Chains A and B, each alone.
Chain A
Amino acid sequence: MDLTELTIKQAHEGLVQKKFSCKDLTLAYLENIKKLDGKINAYLTVTEYLALSQAEKVDEKIGRGEEIKMLEGIPCAIKDAIMVEGEKCTAASKILENYIAPYDATVIKKLKDLGVVILGKTNTDEFTMGSSTENSAFKITKNPHDLTRVAGGSSGGSAAAVSANMACFTLGSDTGGSIRQPASLCGVVGLCPTYGAVSRYGLIAHASSLDQIGPFAKTVEDAQIVLEAIAGRDEKDSTSKDYEFKKFDASLKGIKIGVPKEYFAKGIDPEVEKVIRSAIEKAKKAGAEIVEMSLPSSEYALACYYVIDPSEISANLARFDGIKYGLSEPSEKLLDVYLKSRGKGFGAEVKRRIMIGTYCLSSGYYDAYYKKAQEARELIRQDFEKAFKKVDLLFCPVSPFPAFKIGEKADNPLAMYLADIYTIPMKLAGLPGLSLPAGKIGSLPVGLQIIGNHFEENKILSVAQELEKVL
């Protein structure tokens, strides 16, 4: 039996029935990382010592005959933008290359309290800005299904780690598509919860009106287990909401699924469309009512995002000043410390977004860009509000194309931005979305995106679990 192929629930049962120890399970994953990660580059740091000491505690507990919780002893990995106390947290940036996290993020505190085993920190685009992990200052994560292609991004390391059985589940973060898109490209389940469902305390900020933490897992059920563990109000994140996940038994039979035509427009790979249409057809056969609809303001979503996101970045990343933490270039004058530390520490994409944001917020341009983008954001939100009065869920592709070749879009920022064209609109409206593996083009996975209304992850997960069996 290959222990690394087990789901959370199967691994839990194995531990309870003493078929294997937590140390066996942890070592099996560490072995896989040693064997595979030289080629895949999913990890930035492997926390072997932490993992084995956590595993030992779980084994002692099992040895004493105590009951263990569902996530207890389950080996996971964490995107390197989320802080794990005492471990490096780089956000894949040179400016934080040697930064040691002084405390645990709230999601980590919750997972540690439940007894998980943390295998390491996973690769991301620098400060989670990108769609391929090619913007990481340290390495490019390869797609486990085809090593010449990207794993997607920004949470590419977290997606690839689950896909290649180098972690049982992982955490990532999604600002414009950074969980759903790599999940789609790597063929795993990825869930971006509703804005406010999960605390971001201890997640290195990218764009605060959008950032959200969520799980990658092998199955929908596993994603649900992790969501339940990390969701809820946290006094340290004022945008987090009092949200308790409640199981909901939705069935495809009788459910109304909206299919927005704007998500099958020009630019979509016909093979991707075929996979998604066939998934929709299967939902229909299982009894779902399919409603063709329009979300006309989606057209403005990408432009809206590339004003709001960089604007928030330009403010959030002002904290990297060469004084408080991270890389510091010595200089006589304070201003030069700022200029040189940031000039040397940030990579090309981060600089580009800081520049766009600073431009959009600068004197004379605010109304034309930032304010206009906020208005467009409201139109997009209203589109979805209207849609959810008519339907329960929306089905569309996650990405217009499957995993692309490494280097293919690296020098063309706009081409890279288009990778998130189907994941950004719902994010601007703060809605939850899940990527469900729906089929393949050759060896390359394609994900179906299931969007729900605010805090209706339960509906998404319930329908996804049913669909998972027939896809």
Chain B
Amino acid sequence: MITKEEVEHIAKLARLELTEKEIEKMQKDLSAILDYVNLLKKAPRAKEEHSNILKNVGMLDLDMMRKDEAVSQKREVVQKIIQASPDKKDDFIKVKSIL
């Protein structure tokens, strides 16, 4: 059974605030799911490299990659995106100070 401390640690990593009741239920559910998932230990090892596996399922097709560059968007789309943020000023989304 996953401990309360483990659940709290994972919740912090996941940036989730959980109530005491949720933590208790999470201990039970996570333990049951991870127990089931341990079935994977029985699976034979695949011969392929990890990167090949990703390629085989279509997740790592280097030809499909695009350049990582900023592309200008239409003014109206930009405004709608800013409009959708909870806290904004002029053309900016407001963020709390980090340091």
Contacts and interface: CB of A to CB of B under 8 A. Distances in A.
B37 A340 contact: no
Given A103-B77, A343-B17, A356-B34, A325 B86 contact: yes
Contacts of A401: none
Contacts of A99: 84
Nearest to B86: A328
Contacts, number: 159
Interface string A328-363: 100001110111101110101001101111110010
Given A325-B85, A339-B15, A371-B50, A334 B98 contact: yes
A349 to B, nearest CB: 10
Nearest to B39: A303
Name the residue in A327, A334, A428 with the highest tally of chain B Cβ atoms < 10 Å from its Cβ. A334
Contact of B57 (A326, A417, A428): A428
Secondary structure call for the A interface? helix
A323 interface: yes
A355 B40 contact: no
Interface string A52-83: 00000000000000000000000000000000
B58 A239 contact: yes
Contacts of A238: 61, 64-66
A303 B97 contact: no
A465 interface: no
Contacts of B7: 355
A375 B36 contact: no
A300 B40 contact: yes
Interface in B40-99: 40-46, 48, 50, 52-54, 56-59, 61, 64-66, 77, 80-81, 83-87, 93, 95-98
A343 B58 CA distance: 34
B36 A303 contact: yes
B37 to A, nearest CB: 5
A352 B29 contact: yes
Contacts of B57: 195, 209, 377-378, 381, 428-430
Contacts of A314: 14
Contact of A378 (B14, B37, B53, B87): B53
Interface in A356-387: 356-359, 362, 368-369, 371-379, 381
A307 B43 CA distance: 14
B93 A376 contact: no
B68 to A, nearest CB: 11
A438 B79 CA distance: 49
- Sorting the interface of chain B by its residue count into under 10, 10 to 19, 20 to 34 or 35 or more gives 35 or more
In this complex, the member of A322, A326, A358, A362 whose beta carbon has the largest number of chain B beta carbons within 10 angstroms is A358
B44 to A, nearest CB: 7
Contacts of A344: 17
B46 A379 contact: yes
A352 B30 CA distance: 7
B15 A338 contact: yes
Given A322-B86, A323-B95, A377 B61 contact: no
Nearest to B79: A102
B37 A306 contact: yes
B48 A378 contact: yes
Contacts of A323: 85-87, 93, 95
Nearest to B14: A358
A122 to B, nearest CB: 22
Contacts of B33: 306, 352, 356, 413-414, 417
B76 to A, nearest CB: 9
A325 B87 CA distance: 9
Contacts of B86: 322-323, 325-328
Given A100-B84, A325-B84, A359-B34, A354 B58 contact: no
A235 interface: yes
B16 interface: yes
Contacts of A304: 40
A429 to B, nearest CB: 7
A175 B49 CA distance: 25
Contacts of B84: 99-100, 102, 324-325
26 contacts: A102-B80, A209-B59, A238-B61, A239-B58, A300-B40, A300-B42, A300-B43, A302-B36, A306-B36, A314-B14, A323-B87, A324-B93, A327-B86, A334-B97, A342-B14, A346-B16, A351-B18, A351-B26, A352-B26, A352-B33, A355-B10, A374-B50, A375-B53, A413-B29, A414-B32, A417-B33
By Cβ-Cβ distance, the 10 closest A-B pairs, closest first, are: A343-B17, A102-B80, A328-B86, A334-B96, A375-B46, A339-B17, A358-B14, A378-B46, A338-B15, A303-B39
Given A103-B80, A209-B57, A306-B36, 15 more contacts: A99-B84, A102-B81, A196-B58, A238-B61, A303-B38, A304-B40, A323-B85, A335-B15, A339-B16, A343-B17, A352-B30, A358-B10, A372-B40, A377-B53, A378-B52
Interface of A: 99-100, 102-103, 195-196, 209, 235, 238-239, 297, 299-300, 302-304, 306-307, 314, 318, 321-328, 333-335, 337-340, 342-344, 346, 348, 351-352, 354-359, 362, 368-369, 371-379, 381, 413-414, 417, 428-430
